[in-house]
Amino acid sequence: MSVVVLISGRGSNLEAILDAGLPVSAVISNVAGAGGLAVAARRGVATRVVPHGDYPTREAFEMALMREIDAFAPLVIAHAGFMRIVTSGYVQHYRWRSLNIHPSLLPSFTGLHTHERALAAGVKLHGCTAHFVTEDLDGGPIVIQAAVPVLPGDDAGALAARVLRQEHVVYPRAVRWLLEDRLVVENGRVSVRGGDAQYLLADRA
């Protein structure tokens, strides 16, 4: 029973997952220089690199990626800053086993530049969402969310930092629930066996 974590960058959510004591068997990146690979190596976790630019199509890249993932036989695949849109073939192969963390309160602000867009929209609450990976970009069933206040004088950097601290709280929790087979998906909605709260409200955190 293990987790494979997919990354493209610095690996801060990976580090949160490792700090939570979750059984990470491998970290795989599509970027050779991703900082999270060094994080994994320092923790004695196996690393692999599958550069997406080495493949002529998205499907060919995903076939190579899935071979690497499946070699570790994980129960859960955690996208942690993995900056690739996946195809239906990938989604079907890992249906209800793959999670993502997104820096907004979905369904608001899917895609990129979430903090800038939240500030431009004048919202008073922003946050993050852990959700299942589906064919819809940032549109899979929501597992858990954390909300943070948008404070006077915030810029995108300050807001991003406040949200990231909550990502590090909720994402390991979502991964653990899936590992423990506590997540139930019915009619596009997720519940947790045992009744744990699926939202956090951070007070100026």
Q: What are the sequence ranges of the domains in the chain?
A: 1-94, 102-205
State the average pLDDT over residues 125-146.
98
Tens-place pLDDT, residues 47-57: 999 999 999 99
What is the pLDDT confidence band of residue 172, given thresholds at 50, 70 and 90? very high
pLDDT for 145 beyond 70: yes
What is the per-residue pLDDT for 203?
A: 72
**Is 115 an active-site residue?**
no
In the CATH hierarchy, which fold is given to the domain comprising 102-205?
Rossmann fold (3.40.50)
Percent of the chain with pLDDT over 90: 97
Q: Please check the confidence at residue 204 and state whether its pLDDT lies above 90.
A: no
pLDDT tens, residue by residue, 79-102: 999 999 999 999 999 999 999 999
Q: 6-31: per-residue pLDDT in tens?
A: 999 999 999 999 999 999 999 999 99
Give residues with Cβ within 8 angstroms of 82, minimum separation 6.
Answer: 6, 7, 8, 30, 100
Q: What percent of the chain has pLDDT over 70?
A: 99
Per the residue annotation, which of 79, 102, 115, 131 is the catalytic one?
Answer: 102
Q: Domain 1-94 has what CATH class?
A: alpha beta
Residue 205: its pLDDT value, please?
60
- The pair of structure tokens assigned to 204 is 């100026």
Please state the rounded mean pLDDT for residues 153-162. Answer: 98
Query: What mean pLDDT is reported for the chain?
Result: 97
The reply to whether domains 1-94 and 102-205 share a CATH topology is yes
